[in-house]
Every structure is written in C-alpha cells, then in structure tokens.
Structure 1
Amino acid sequence: MSSFVSKHLLLLFFFFIFSNFLPELHAVSTVKTYIFRVDSESKPSIFPTSYHWYGSEFADPLRILHVYDTVFHGFSATLTPEEADALSNHPAVLAVFEDHRRELHTTRSPQFLGLRNQRGLWSESDYGSDVIIGVFDTGVWPEHRSFSDLNLGPVPARWKGTCESGVRFTPKNCNRKLIGARFFSKGQQAGGSMGPIGAINDTVEFRSPRDADGHGTHTASTAAGRYAFKASMSGYASGIAKGVAPKARLAAYKVCWKGAGCFDSDILAAFDTAVSDGVDVISISIGGGDGVSSPYYLDPIAIGAYGAVSKGVFVSSSAGNDGPNAMSVTNLAPWLVTVGAGTIDRNFPATVILADGRKISGVSLYAGAPLNGKMFPIVYPGRTGALSASLCMEHSLDPNIVRGKIVICDRGSSPRVAKGLVVKKAGGVGMILANGISNGEGLVGDAHLIPACAVGSEEGDALKAYASSSKNPTATINFVGTVLGIKPAPVIASFSGRGPNGLNPEILKPDLIAPGVNILAAWTEAVGPTGLDSDMRRTEFNILSGTSMACPHVSGAAALLKSAYPDWSPAAIRSAMMTTANVVDNRNQSMIDESTGKSSTPYDFGAGHLNLGRAMDPGLVYDITSNDYVNFLCAIGYGPKLIQVISRSPVSCPWKKPLPENLNYPSLAALFSTSSKGPKSKRFFRTVTNVGPSNAVYRATIESPRGVIITVKPAKLVFAPTVRKQSFMVTVTTNTKNIALGQSGALFGSISWSDGKHVVRSSIMITEIDPL
C-alpha cells in the first residue's frame, strides 16, 4: 500500500475515532455555524469532489450546510467551538469565522436620475435588455405586474440558473423577466435552532423564493421593474411605476427571512450560486445593523463580492441606515459600490394645525378617513418622565390620559408605525411622531394605521412645549397628498450611512448616493404596507425609505451601462457613475444634509448623486484589476494567507510595500499624521482610460480648500487612437503646521479633467489622523 493512501486511511481512522466523542462535546458546548476557507489546491486526488473531501476529513457530512466553490473555496458546518478550533489548525484551512446574522437596510426616481424615454442611456442600452440582475433579499412576489415578460425576448442563452420549488412557488412562477429564483435557508435554520432569534416562523414565512416580507419585491422592481400604469400606494405617488432598467432580467436569491434576518453562510452561498448561474449585476441591500464593519477577510459580503467582481460581475451594496453619525457607513470593501440615500423632488406633506394658529410641517402616507379639520386635545405622555410612555411602547400608555386625543410619541426603540397601533389600542385618535436630536429634521413617510404624521426634532420640541404650557392644547392634522417639484432635492437623508471609512480611510465611502427616501415600488400580497401582522390592508405598491432603496437604483444603472458597454469592467462602470455624479441640487447649490440643514460633504454623499444622463458618456474612467486590489490588500498589511482567504488564489505581495491611497480609485483621500510638524505633503498616482473620442485633450481644474495646495502633473492629458491610457500625479500639500479642519474633521477639494464636453470629477478629502 502506498504511503499516500496509508496517510489518508489514517486520517479517516482518526476522524472516525474523533467523531465517536462528538456527543460528549455536544453535551458541554453549544453548537454553532462556522464558515471554513479551505485551500482547494490541497485536495487529495482520491476525493472526486471537494464535498467528499470535506465530509471525510473535516466534518460529518450531515453537519455540512453549504459547499462553496465559485467565489469562495470552503464550506460551512455546525460544530462546537472546540471542534472548530481543532479544525482551524488543519494545514489546508486558511481561515475560520463564525456565522453572523445581518439586517436589511431599510416611479419618479428614474426621471430624477436623468433618464428619459426614447433617448440617452435608456435608448442606447435598450432599457438594459438581456442584462441579468441578481437580487439578494427576501425573495419575490412573482405574480406582480412589475415582473411581466410581455414583449421580452428569449432568456439569455448563457443563463444557467433555475427556479426552485417550495411553498407556494414552482418553476412556472418564473418567466422571461423573472428568469431565476432560489432560496437559502440552511444557515438560517441552523442559527434558528439555537434560539428564537433567527428562527423561521412558518406561519408568516414561505420556505421558498416567495416574498413574505415585501422588501425583496420592492428592491427587485426598483432595479428592473417593467412599466406599470396607474400605480400608487393608496393614492400616493400615482403615475407610472418602473424600474431603472425595465428590460433587464431578474433573478431572486432569497437569503433574508421575515423577522429572522440574513445569515452570512447563506449570503456567501448565494454569491457562489449567482455567479455560477451567470448574473451580470448583484444587488445586496444587506449589512451590519450597528455601523461596525469586520475586516475584509472576516466579512462574507466582502469575500463573496470580491469573487464576483473578479469574474466581471458588478456588485452594488447599501451604505447602512446608521447615519447621521460619523463613521456609520458599512460595506466598505473597495471592490464594492457603496450607496447612500438622498431624497427626490417628490414629497407627501402633512400639516399639524394648532389652536393658536401655528402650522407645523410634517410628512405622512396615511390614507384612511381624514380628521376634516376637527380639533382634538393633544398630549405628550413623556411629561410623566416614563421613557416607555414617551416612546409609545407596547402597554405603556394610560387610556385615561390619551383616550380621544392626538398623542405625541418620540421616535426610537420600536417601529414607527407600531407606535400608532399602541396609541390606537389605548383609545387615541391620532399620533404625531417626533424626531429626536439624532434624527434631526430628516423625515420619512409611513402608511400609518391611524391619522398620524412625522415631524422634525425642532418641530417636535415646539409641539411638546405647546402641549405642556397651553391651558387647553388642541390640534388637528391635515394630509396634503403628493407634491412634486420639491426644492431643494436631493437632500442627504439623515439616516444614510456616513464616512469616514472606519476600516481604511484612504478609500472614501460611501461612493455615491441615489434616491432612497419615499420610493414607490412593487409590494408583496403577503403583508400590509406597514409590515405589521395586525395590518390587514393589501396594496400593490408601497413607499419605503432606506439605503436599501438607494442600492437597487445603482444596480439598475449598472445594468444599463453594462448593456450599453458590455466590455466595461465593474470598476469602469463605477467610475462612470462617480465621476459624473451631481454635487449640487436642483437649485444648483450645494446639497443639504437633512440632519443639520447645512451643506453636506463627501463624507455624506461620496462622489455625489447618481446622474445617468451623464454617466452614459463619462469620457474617462478609472479602471481597477484584481491585481490592483491584491496590491491594496498588501498595502493595508494583509499577508498572503489572509489575502488568499479573499482572493481564492495564492498571492505574493510586492517587494516594496504599496501605498493604499494609490489604488486607482475615482476619489482621493489624503491622510496626514498629527505628529508631523511644518508643511505636509502626500502624492497620489492615477491612471485614466479614454472611453470617448479617440483624439482628445483633457485639462485639469483644481479646487483646493483653504490652507491646502493641490497640484497635478501633467496638467494636460493627450489621447490618440494608439494612446488610450494616461497617468498623472496629484500632490496635496498643507501650507500650515495645523490644518484648520471643518466640523466634519476634514477638508474637501476636487480635481476635474475636461475636454470641453466631458467633465471627469474626483473628490479629494484631506484630514489628520493620530499615528498608531
């Protein structure tokens, strides 16, 4: 018998002996789900597949949940911590990380992006025809008319995906529009079996691609919904609903479950499957719920996205809803496109009218019987000092205090619409939802179950003061409906995740913003517009807010650009969006930060607001290869083993350590040490590719903040049919000992290249950091 075979028989023997002790380990340790990154090159040839190898040498096959082999090499399995720790020492195991639960980041918007019928990018891309968008979310409601395949051609021949059967879902639910649907629940089921958080509730959920939550149907139709005439949400936002890429094909990957969240192991399996299926774009409105980001080698979204991008798939992700706090942006990997949220020029006003004649502005999507101007007593339960009462939490309101009154409730701790239900149960006739300081003046509309509206922090304080000081405080609420042409717009949503980048501040995040406030899109028939179990209403469309809604706008935009320019890389598509983004609003003034009412910065909006009318013809693009990303990972201190966890293939770092700021990104971040004395200087190297007229001359225009000198060499770039790429160097120098940083802790400038027609703009951020 050869020593090779003897070795593996011995391994199998030890595995058998080890497995006999598993019941004892289970008795003292909690079983958890772990994800293992395995060096695929180490697989012995005697095993026909990786699954056979993993099941023989690493874990009981019955405990293996997923096997990954497209964007990631490895598997996930349910093991005790002791077992996982023992396997981490296996020579073929590159990394082990515990499965974690993640959260969803929760009509007129295509026109607001600069799209027009029969011309421009919609026309030149044939509305995204034949590009395939994979949506990672809560599934899809396939019967919705937004997913009609009327007049669409055959399913693209390259498509390898399928329509999986399950509860109330069969392959017949797919068509030439919705060409694929899958669901991933093994990680979810394993996580749910360990406690109530993460457990799938079969009374409200479908174990299939069918959407019981609504979020997935909403995001999918935002990206690529067909034209739907006479659309509205109970009369609000009436008109023609359509996605950004109406002819693009959709594939739904259900990785999130109603009330149970989304588990990393399932998300990674969806990445692996979607890329193998043949998607061109992945839209993922999912991330951490606390604004904290893991290192890239421990983040399955970053790892899965790297594998997708390296195979030419564009990945759009949401920036998170933990703004306006600084450093709240999530999904930070430089190969991801990170999208924040802004408003559009449409609103749903509601007005609180006080007995003293004052009018307080708010917003609402209430569609029930109006108050018709009738005045009611107004009360603020928080006067008693009970926090739960001020927040209108369940069972916190005294019916003797609120019955027959309009109740002021503070925002926070429970769903906004659920507070109205608490008020209703206690006998209240209406609700005013008041923002706290952290939310500022940022408002989102909700389909309330009782007459209710949201008001900003200052207006809320005024209402509370009125309710406390007036002898007989009364008020009514007037619901205005839908108003178009709002100025200013866009405004940076107060909830949108903000920079700086908490992992690598050399990369400015978010990348850009897109419409994410009060967005009308398709909805599931499984729940009412509020998502509450007690909401028995059903609506064909719903209006939602969140960076979840902004992300699919960029996904649809990527589909249009991919259709118009099939050879462009994901980095080139992102560059086209970023360098042509708007940095002014529809008044032609600086965009406003909703939380403060003051001018916003690139920490809030990145490169600016998506403008597809200009992105279709960017002139120049900043391209990035997989090797560039590897060099970036080397630059931030990752060794070859950690990089291989992300890249799949063995790598070696350059002899001279690269600088992370020299990744060929469309924005620049100059970080200066606070310990340096005197003038400070930082150099950046960038390369642009001409995608416009072959003979072109671009000249640089610099915007430098006070106390900073920015120069570029050369200041002129000359392109020819044989010269498509040109490189340049940007030098950022402070001419004072200490930079006079603004309130955001940074200064901002820009460099713009122009040939007289195109303007290719890059944001430049300057800040100081404490040395390690």
Structure 2
Amino acid sequence: MRFFTHTQDISMVLLRPLKKRKQLRSQSILESYQFSKTEKLIGAKYFNKGFLEAGGILNSTNVSARDTEGHGTLTLSTAGGNFVKGASMFGYGNGTSKGGSPSARVAVYKVCWVRCYDADILAGFDAAIHDGVDVLSVALASLLNSDYIEDSIAIGSFHAVKRGIVVVAPAANNGPTDGSVTNVAPWLFTVGASTLDREFPTYVDLGNKQKLKGQSLSVDSLPSGRTYPLVFGGDAKFANVSVEAGALCNPGALNPQLVKGKIVVCFTGDSPTVDKGKQALLSGAVGMILADLDESGNEQIADAHLLPASHISYKDGLAVLAYINSTKTPTAYITRPTTKLRTKPAPSMASFSSKGPNPVTPGILKPDITAPGVSVIASYTGAAGPSGQDYDTRRVAFNIVSGTSMSSSHVSGIAGLLKTLHPDWSPSAIKSAIMTTASKWNNATGLILDSSNQRATPFSYGAGHVRPNRAQDPGLVYDLTTSDYLYFLCADGYNSSQLRSFSNSSVPYKCPKSSSLDDFNYPSITVLSLNGTVTVTRKLKNVGTPATYNAKVRAPNGISVSVEPESLTFDSVGQEKNFKLTLKAKQAGAAKDYVFGLLTWSDGYHYVRSPIVVKAAAAGAAA
C-alpha cells in the first residue's frame, strides 16, 4: 500500500445555493450575490482504516476529525470562511477576513494521520461525492511523476469531476525546480502560488550604515536606541561541529559562549526557519538574521519567529557576511515588523511554487493558473502554535502562512462562486472561465516575475494570475466531458482494461484506433517535438451574449502560427464552434528549448486567452 508523506487534510466545500441578483458588469463577483442569512452548517468526517491497516497507531484523543495541525482549518477557511472583523496575527495584517465563498456550507474530510494512505484518500473522495459537494479543495499533493492509474488523487478526482464536482489541487511546494509540479491530471485544476500586494517588512541596520529589507512576523522586538554584537553561525559553532552545520544553525551546532547576547546570522536549509530561531534562542541569541541559502530560492517569507528576526535575500546575506569579515566588532539592529500594503511589483511567483513542464504528460501545461499563496491570513486551530512546531506553545485564532495549498484554496472559493452564478456549467467550463480570463501582468505594469526578478513563464503561472471578476463573464469556454477525459487517457497510452479504474462502468470504454492530444480541448495549447507543421483543433462554447470573436496570435519565437477561421460568430448561448491552429517551425531546430506564445479570441469586450507552449524537434529529427 502506497502512502503520501503529506500530513494535511482534504478540505471539501459544499456550497449553499445563493440568490442571484441582477448582474451589472461593473459589479465584483461578490457583489453579484445576496447572501443567505441562515447559519453556516459545518460537517466533518475522518477516515483512517488505511493508516491503521498499515500498522499506524492512534490514541483516543486524536481519533476524530479535529484539526490538530492547522492546515485543514487554514485551507477550509480560505475557501469558504465567513466574514470576520478584526482578524490579525499578533496585530499584523489587521482587517476583515473572509473565504473565497463566504456563506457556503462546508464539510471537512480528514484523511491524513502522520502519513496519507491511498485507501483513506479514496474513502474521503467517495464520502464527498456521496454527500453531494459542489467543489473539492484537495489540500495535498500527489507523488511526483506518479502515473494516473497509481495516483489515488487522480482516480478519486476523476470520479468527482464525472459527477459535476470541481476539484482544485495545489501544484506543490517543491519549486523553483523545473518539472516539480504534481497533481497534473487534466481534470484537476492545478494551482501555483504567487504573492499579494502586502508584506511584513523588517529591516536590518548594520554597523556600517547598510539597511537591508527582510520579512518577519516576530512578536518580540529589540529595545531601540542601541546596536547588538553580530556573529555568523558558521563562526559561532562548537569546535567539533562543521561550518555548514553552524551556518545552518542546526540543533546543537551553536556555542552559547559565542552567541549569548548577540544577533546570529543563519542560512536557510535542512530545518524549518522557525526552528533555526529556536536554536539561536536556546544558545542565548537576542535576534536572528536569516538569509536565503542560494539565489535560485531568493525569496523572503514572513514567519512567526520566537525571537526578533529578519529573513533577508541571498545577496543581502552575502553583504552581511562581507561586513562581518570587514571589522573586529560587527554590530546590527533588527527593527520591529510592520504591515505594508499596496507593494510593487505584485503578484510575483513564489520560489517554492512547483513548476512545469508536466512530468507525467508533457503535452498538457501544468500548473493551470496561479493565485495568492504567500503570507495569507486565515483561521487556525487552537491545537497547535503558529509555527507548527511541537515546542511552540503560542496560540492564535488566525495564522499567516504560505504555500500552494493556500493558493488552491483561493481558487476553490472562486470556483464555488462561479458554481452558484452558473449552476449549469461543467467543472471544465468553470476551469476554462478562470484560466482564460487570467492575467500575466503585475501592478507595476510589467509581466509577472519570479522570485529572482526574472520574467516568469507559463511553467510557473500557467494561464496567469486569477481574476475572479472577469471569470464570471468569460464570453467563451473550452468545455470537456467524461468521454473527452477517457479519450485523453487513450491518447496517453492507456488501454481499455486500465481505464476501468476511471470509467467504473459495466460497459468498458473502448479506445479509438487512433487518438492524439493535439485535439484534446484544453484551455492551454502545448505542442511537443514540432518538426514541420502541426495542426491542433479546439472547440469554443458561447456562454455569453451573441457576438463575433476575432483571433489574435502572439507567436512563440521561431514559430509561425495561423488560425482557421480567424473569426467566429456565435448567435446563441451554448453554441459551439471549432477552429484549427497551425504551428510551423520556421527552420529545423528553431526552438531548442520551450518557447511561449498566446492566442486571444475577442469580441471587443471579452478576451479569451490561451497560452501556447511549443518545443521544436531536434535538428535532423524525422518528421
């Protein structure tokens, strides 16, 4: 029996029907509702037979659906929490909190107990389907490179989507490594994580007058009016400890005689960031400067440290070390964190957000979209401290956390609102509406950047950053049925016998004699090994007013693209029309790596955008 090493819950949202008001195009998606005034109903179930069968041991205090870890509470409140005034963590980020679908009925299905077993995950899916949920927010990641037929999340979600349930899942937190994205089945809505325009800055003032910006949620602050001795963890270790262990501030590495009363410099890696502060505190440090270990993960996360701390960049960490080595008496001061709004540029991609290309089916772009997943404020359990560490005895009603589980919960809430606005839309139509109305731009009028301030690609953000107000009226959608997904599996190499895990029908689905991903009606377009010319077919469904849409293409570098026809006229709601997209490499080996473009259909008001991803065949490859 396989198991998952993620200790999270699956949060599943059952939406209460809401009364729709007359829609105005100037309204936000929330303003399109008149919320029910009846009390929110909450259901909770747990499943542990798979864990127990594998030898797991539970005691009477935790054999329940109670969230002892916090992750399930965070994700469910982000997806469906009601309005709560005065929400904050230690006074940071004070304001009114709400989930993506406030006034929703919610249900929680706990399936993880130290480890997550397939039997328990599938039991959770079965219960949610039986209970009639509308949206499933699956806040855990499948195993990397897992074949669909061996992936309980892929199998369970297929049966949910078959019954009209939107299933949203995180891309995972293994970035910025290429090909690290998980939950890649095309019927899943896979979400990456990006930043908000809100930060919690704290500053490091060095004795040489340098001022370095970091992030933190430390409760305690250093007394003002003085500086403190500064020491590098690699120089403050015990004699029998490696420099690397000291630099990482690993447990037992720091020598209290060299650390007491000082600010210690630690680097990320090996252990949780809050635990590094714990080790510094145990050794007598008054504060900690936490620097990124390498430039590829150059992103500062605000954490609930146990002592005054500031998380700074890799580059600034090198500046701190250079200063320490330049003087016999280095000093520093760490300011108290503050809440800063309307920061720029935002959004940008989180370094931890897992990236494409899709490691299982490279012909399908994953993740599908990105949403806020950095320093998100959400409700929290009373059974754990904000850092999630066993030694953390602090308790908070709200926590500030980062991860793709938080971003996917945002999208789950948005999907719930769309399900209420458009109860007749299929899961794939809702997914298409959110994807094709997404944006690739930040609030500094530039394209979305990664954590190293380089231009991000669709392998990071998919179709772009979510825009809920646009998604309620997308104009056109790319729709898919259960038969389409079975056809996809055939094109991906599955035979009729293997499809039994998905079709679950007395009459097995019979794969056609030939099938191709080129005609799979996905909202994004990916072409691999392009040598010569490839034509893909897509079908658009009108979900808006009658209109004529014209095509516009931004071709990938080295690729020519044509659309036939270039114009589509829709006379009624539900009308569908096909088009063909022909891609041609301008010369052999023109795109040695992946290149990206964009197809847009517009009637002058709606803009239906699909990313184009192309990798040309190697020079000299056979057509």
Which of the five TM-score ranges fits, normalised by the shorter chain?
over 0.9
Aligned 8 A contact 2:221 2:336 in 1: no
Distance 1:661 1:370, change over 3 A: farther
Kindly report which structure 2 residues correspond to 1:550-569, keeping only aligned pairs within 5 A, or say none: 550-569=407-426
Kindly report which structure 2 residues correspond to 1:309-708, keeping only aligned pairs within 5 A, or say none: 309-383=161-235, 385-437=242-294, 439-594=296-451, 596-649=452-505, 650-672=507-529, 676=531, 680-693=532-545, 695-708=546-559
In structure 1, distance between residues paired with 2:9 and 2:249? 24
Query: Secondary structure of 1:688's match?
Result: strand
Kindly report which structure 2 residues correspond to 1:177-192, keeping only aligned pairs within 5 A, or say none: 177-192=40-55
In structure 2, distance between residues paired with 1:394 and 1:722? 63
Aligned 8 A contact 2:536 2:582 in 1: yes
Distance 1:116 1:300, change over 3 A: farther
One-letter identity of the residue aligned with 2:234: G
Distance 1:712 1:426, change over 3 A: same
One-letter identity of the residue aligned with 2:435: M
In structure 2, distance between residues paired with 1:191 and 1:445? 37
Aligned 8 A contact 2:8 2:72 in 1: no
Corresponding residue number in structure 2 for 1:287: 141
In structure 1, distance between residues paired with 2:221 and 2:175? 34
Corresponding residue number in structure 2 for 1:124: 32
Q: TM-score, with normalisation over the residues of structure 2?
A: 0.93
Distance 1:511 1:237, change over 3 A: same
1:288 offset after TM fit, Å? 4.1
Aligned 8 A contact 1:293 1:331 in 2: no
Q: What do the CA deviations read for 1:244-269 (whole angstroms, capped 9, x no partner)?
A: 11111110111123xx1322221111
Aligned 8 A contact 1:687 1:725 in 2: yes
Distance 1:125 1:732, change over 3 A: farther
Query: Secondary structure of 2:318's match?
Result: helix
Of 589, 597, 622, the residue aligned with 1:749 is 597
Distance 1:356 1:438, change over 3 A: closer
In structure 2, distance between residues paired with 1:504 and 1:234? 44
One-letter identity of the residue aligned with 1:639: N
Query: Secondary structure of 1:490's match?
Result: coil
Aligned 8 A contact 2:4 2:115 in 1: no
Kindly report which structure 2 residues correspond to 1:111-260, keeping only aligned pairs within 5 A, or say none: 119-126=27-34, 151-152=37-38, 176-193=39-56, 199-200=57-58, 206-257=62-113, 260=114
1:323 offset after TM fit, Å? 0.5
1:179 offset after TM fit, Å? 2.8
Aligned 8 A contact 2:542 2:573 in 1: no
Q: Does 1:760 align with 2:623?
A: no
One-letter identity of the residue aligned with 1:736: Q
Query: Secondary structure of 1:388's match?
Result: helix
Aligned 8 A contact 2:3 2:115 in 1: no
Of 575, 581, 589, the residue aligned with 1:724 is 575
Structure 2 residues not aligned, in runs of 5+: 11-22
1:101 offset after TM fit, Å? 3.8
Query: Secondary structure of 1:641's match?
Result: coil
1:723 offset after TM fit, Å? 7.1
In structure 2, distance between residues paired with 1:392 and 1:485? 34
| Count of residues in correspondence between the two structures | 602
Aligned 8 A contact 1:571 1:623 in 2: yes
Q: What do the CA deviations read for 1:649-708 (whole angstroms, capped 9, x no partner)?
A: 2534444311123210000001116xx5xxx22111000100000x21000011013311
One-letter identity of the residue aligned with 1:363: Q
Aligned 8 A contact 1:420 1:448 in 2: yes
Aligned 8 A contact 1:102 1:264 in 2: no
One-letter identity of the residue aligned with 1:333: A
1:221 offset after TM fit, Å? 0.7
In structure 2, distance between residues paired with 1:319 and 1:116? 34
Aligned 8 A contact 2:298 2:314 in 1: yes
Aligned 8 A contact 1:487 1:587 in 2: yes
Distance 1:728 1:273, change over 3 A: same
Query: Secondary structure of 1:733's match?
Result: strand
- Which runs of at least 4 in structure 1 moved beyond 4 Å after TM superposition? 103-106, 115-118, 199-202, 769-772
Query: Secondary structure of 1:207's match?
Result: coil
In structure 2, distance between residues paired with 1:302 and 1:499? 18
1:463 offset after TM fit, Å? 1.2
Q: TM-score, with normalisation over the residues of structure 1?
A: 0.75
Structure 1 residues not aligned, in runs of 5+: 1-33, 35-97, 107-114, 130-150, 153-175, 194-198
In structure 2, distance between residues paired with 1:304 and 1:118? 38
In structure 2, distance between residues paired with 1:598 and 1:613? 28
Kindly report which structure 2 residues correspond to 1:83-102, keeping only aligned pairs within 5 A, or say none: 98-102=2-6
**Identity level (%):** 43
Aligned 8 A contact 2:541 2:574 in 1: no
In structure 2, distance between residues paired with 1:765 and 1:360? 39
Query: Secondary structure of 1:684's match?
Result: strand
Corresponding residue number in structure 2 for 1:69: none
Give the structure with the larger helix fraction.
1
1:605 offset after TM fit, Å? 0.3
1:373 offset after TM fit, Å? 4.6
Query: Secondary structure of 2:335's match?
Result: strand
Q: Does 1:275 align with 2:132?
A: no
